[in-house]
Structure 1
């Protein structure tokens, strides 16, 4: 059996039936795309490699636990997991850099007042990102999917069109309507995103 010719779903089924080589073929098929996405987010090849490995472990664990349901979008699912791993990394890093006021000593290198952006700037930025993410959840499913794939997974409109089985113009149209709907929600909720 030539594993390289099988679809992602068929490879998963072959893997689950006991053929470990199937998962190797599947990983190799999507390795570059997933790694490049992670590396683009963290801008550090060694760190990207670590997060890539963590992503693979999580993907295999989810597959083994039966927590992946086939919908023809395996790569999108893996990229979502990778994205969440990157977010988790930044959250952990943020917690590790937190210095309490009662801490003995003074670490000049970790003084937030001397950094380029202030705590307030980051809090505002985080709040804006959270508000926008909440707005995305209120979009119709097709529009939400395009926004998530474009802005949170970094896919091109061609890749989005291929993943969702629509034309590029349809993908662009869904993005346009998503942005229009989000602007309406921003006005209705009187959000300030600046």
Structure 2
């Protein structure tokens, strides 16, 4: 153990640095985001969506801020507030992707720190994690004027959104645990 810095323990009981937990959590968050997107894409196709996965995934049909979903709107506000410059419509799809994937990866890093802080991280920790990510959106996005308050959505909409975030959380947790097991100490 290093002086002044408490090392985390991995699932195999091996020491794990905070940076290692953040990196594994970030990678797990990226794969969790992909798992969630695959579920959402499947639903989109089931509802008669016509675009192929790459076009859908990278928001190719988003041509303006009026069409842009909440992640893009948050990114637009952050950029314009920070730099005091307006973003053109042509950047809406890019900003949507950066924010969506960035949020998934950043939340994965947070998960890595939390899960890396317990003696043995469990995949089941992903369910409350995913639910927490889902719930935070229904607190922050209405406050930002981008969503309605949660009570204005019907149960079906909320259930579909929650289930997608549960897939994200459980996938992130399973990947984190798997990456923790396959990690080998240097000799």
Q: TM-score range by the shorter chain?
A: under 0.3
Whose Rg is larger? Answer: 1
Instruction: Tell which has more relative contact order, 1 or 2 (C-alpha 8 A, sep 6+).
Output: 2
Q: TM-score, normalised by structure 2?
A: 0.28
- Compute the TM-score of the two structures, normalised by the length of structure 1: 0.27
Task: Identify the structure with the greater helix proportion.
Answer: 1
